[in-house]
Amino acid sequence: MAEVTVEMIKSLRQKTNCGIMDCKRALISTDADEAKAIELLRKKGLAKAIERRERSAADGALFSYIHHTNKLGVMVELNCETDFVARTEEFKELGLDLCMQIAAENPQYVSREEIPADVIESERAIYKEQAASSGKPEKILDKIIEGKFKVFYERVCLVDQPFIKEPKESVGHLIDILSSKLGEKIALGRFVRFEIGAE
């Protein structure tokens, strides 16, 4: 077992913003491997962020964006638990990033739960027909349909969309990361996108 030194703990703390004891435990658990300790702390932080989803986020702020042509505008409600977090630069930056995301990618819903059942059934019927006529073996048709739904969700649900600044991460994942960093539940409220000439 490698020795965990004060310098190691300080270094990990600077890189992760986690508490001293959390850093020490992570280094002990990973045999003083800093990279593995960072990964462990990230996973734990995201797990806590998922737990926070059950809490109430009654504070927050509204953010807006008007494109330079004045033909496209967005307003989004971003919620958190306290006014203190709502005033942080990270929270404000996320709000503006979400406006840009909505302007660029035109999501229809915040999350999958908002999609009406008849829309899901209509998509499922189309995907079933496409899968059946693909000539692929019967046993993989469900996998094909599942793959098509993944693409559908990434197109129409804001939290499932790849983030425009970091396409390898989803919008929902980045919200969880900030929630973990700030120690509060952060939740998307409503959004609206106006575009001149669009129906």
pLDDT in tens, 150-181: 999 999 999 999 999 999 999 998 898 888 88
Q: Is residue 60 predicted with pLDDT exceeding 80?
A: yes
Cβ atoms of residues 152 and 123 within 8 Å: yes
Cβ atoms of residues 60 and 82 within 8 Å: no
What average pLDDT does this structure show over 128-143?
A: 82
Q: What superfamily would CATH give domain 6-52?
A: Ubiquitin-associated (UBA) domain (1.10.8.10)
What average pLDDT does this structure show over 84-104?
A: 95
Architecture of domain 59-110+157-195: 2-Layer Sandwich (3.30)
The pTM for the full model equals: 0.70
Helix (H) or strand (E) holding 105: helix 89-105
